[in-house]
Chains A and B, each alone.
Chain A
Amino acid sequence: MSRPVIGLTTYAEEARFGLQDTFAAVLPFSYVQAVHTSGGRAVLIAPDEPDDDVLDGLDGIMFTGGSDVDPALYGEQPHPTTKVKPERDAAEIVLLRAALAADLPILGICRGMQLMVVAYGGRLHQHLPDVLGHHNHRPISGPKFGEHAVRLRPGSHSHDVLGDLVLVNSFHHQGIADPGRLTPVGWCPDDNLIEVVEDSSHTFAVGVQWHPEDTKDFRLFAALVSAARQRRSGTAERAGAGRAPR
């Protein structure tokens, strides 16, 4: 059985690799491995002139981590620590809105979750240490990732996937102030920061604040791929005979 095709948004940054130092479309390979291990086929969607035509061939889409979302998009002035990539925001917001309109299965990770919140009319805390008084969500010394629990709300889609409680890694300095029209369904019990949001009116629209691609816990990817597979087989049935061979 052919695998569902999952689009992954990419960073567009000056990158150094091998002997090269060049502007690149770049994404940690851990995201790719998470999708492939979970039975999907990853394709990378570099930011491009805003247009949603690329969604046509996708069965699901993942909004990945990266720079801060431009606070202008939720009507605020930038905090001194806020670092934005407006081209990425512009391209990804277009893709996100079109993906939602098409009920394409969506998983947002870290920045991707924050982008979902902004698209749903919410707002972000621009620098969590100012609000929470601690650096636990992005350690300033020691290991790269922080670590904390997340408690899930029973009855939510995310609870079906992750259960009551999950231990997560953490590498972010912004967080959700207001989830907008998304439903908050997971919190860090230490400081009540929202860690998981979803839109239950969609087949699969979930955002998480941590980085499951950098763990061994791929349940969220499996859930995304599963929703994408169902969509793919549904599309094939409607077409009558599956995707016609090229």
Chain B
Amino acid sequence: MIIPKNILGTKGLSKEEIVTILDSAEAFKEISTREIKKVPTLRGRTIINLFFEPSTRTRTSFEIAGKRLSADVINISGSTSSTVKGENLIDMALNLEAMNPDLMIIRHSHSGVAEMLSKFIKCPIINAGDGYHEHPTQALLDLYTIREAIGDLHGLNVTIVGDITHSRVVRSNIYAMKTMGINVTLVGPPTMIPLGIENMGVHVSYSLEDAVLDADVIMMLRLQTERQNEFLLPSIREYSNLFCLTTKILKRAKDDVLIIHPGPVNRGIEIALDVMKSDKSFILNQVTNGVAIRMALMYLLLGGNNDSLN
């Protein structure tokens, strides 16, 4: 099994590659349950966390993952970097690379930044979210959480609810889920579902009540209030009335349905508080599993063979 040099997206990852990543994550999850949560595997390796967008979960998750593998992790955030002084992104990456890191993790508000940088720098790159494009580690940890809770992924029905257009999490999940044989249904207001998305092999529905009926998994997305919602929605309250996952709507779903959310959650807007706290909600399991997935990727990417793939 050869894992690609960079993880820029789930597009193009094979079923075999995804299974290897998920299987490895199982072993790495155990490490986080130990009293001494550290193994010496990446001792002496340097990982740079380059975040040009706010993040608590993902950035911390990558940092913890690196540290539990004994790597040295350096965090750089957009507001404290020299891009503020006007340095361009490529120059900055080349300068960082001159200090010999072994892995760079990049989040940026523009789509395609991780892929663009991968053409300039030699060390492996993990895309931690680029604009509206992809967020592959989130999709992988979602799959892991689903597999852990339900078992075989093939043939499952997953309903994804919210602002589909502006969600990199959705795009990464569609690619990965289709590869794994999952049926995906997208739900949201028409202004938030891009035309022609059915070409990705997914179903589209505008009714949450209908779309939860045969779902094995319901994935709620955050209403991204920092993006241009004012053009897409009459009001947040109207969105909530139609697309908030409440106990009442959940009664229409299967008894053993799994509820996930990539976070951060807007309580009461896309998901009701009592649903969040119910035993169907695996939102915090996702966070725990995120560390394991990122440890697995770091381990697999820093394997000795990857030079040959340059």
Q: Indicate whether A and B interact.
A: no
Chain A residues in the interface with B (C-beta under 8 A): none
Chain B residues in the interface with A (C-beta under 8 A): none
